[in-house]
Amino acid sequence: MSEHVYKIVQLVGSSPDSMEDAVQRALARASRTIRNLRWFEVVETRGQVKGGSVAHWQVTLKVGFTLDEDEATDT
């Protein structure tokens, strides 16, 4: 981290397979509209249960990215 300003958004990724995959899906989706994703932090891990086993892993993330010169911060 240098003298940049960063913004942090909160996302929930979801996957039938694993916690890691739920994180990757959230990051993949975010990277379609956010440039310069830098780091994430896992905030919460939950899941849906069906028939006695995990139907979806749901991982809530804080994701940080560099604000470019022309990027809005109000979102």
d(CA 5, CA 23): 24
Contact positions with a second copy (CB under 8 A) in 29-58: 29-34, 37-42, 44-49, 51-54, 56-58
Binding mask 2-31 for a second copy (x = CB under 8 A): xxxxxxxxxxxxxxx-xxx--xxxxxxxxx
Residue 9 corresponds to which tokens in the numbers above? Answer: 């958004």
Q: Which residue has 């804080």 as its token pair?
A: 62
Under 8 Å CB-to-CB from 55, ≥6 apart: which residues?
Answer: 16, 47, 48, 49
In angstroms, what is the minimal distance from the CB of 69 to a second copy? 9
Q: Which residues bind a second copy (CB under 8 A)?
A: 1-16, 18-20, 23-34, 37-42, 44-49, 51-54, 56-58, 60, 62-65, 67, 71-75
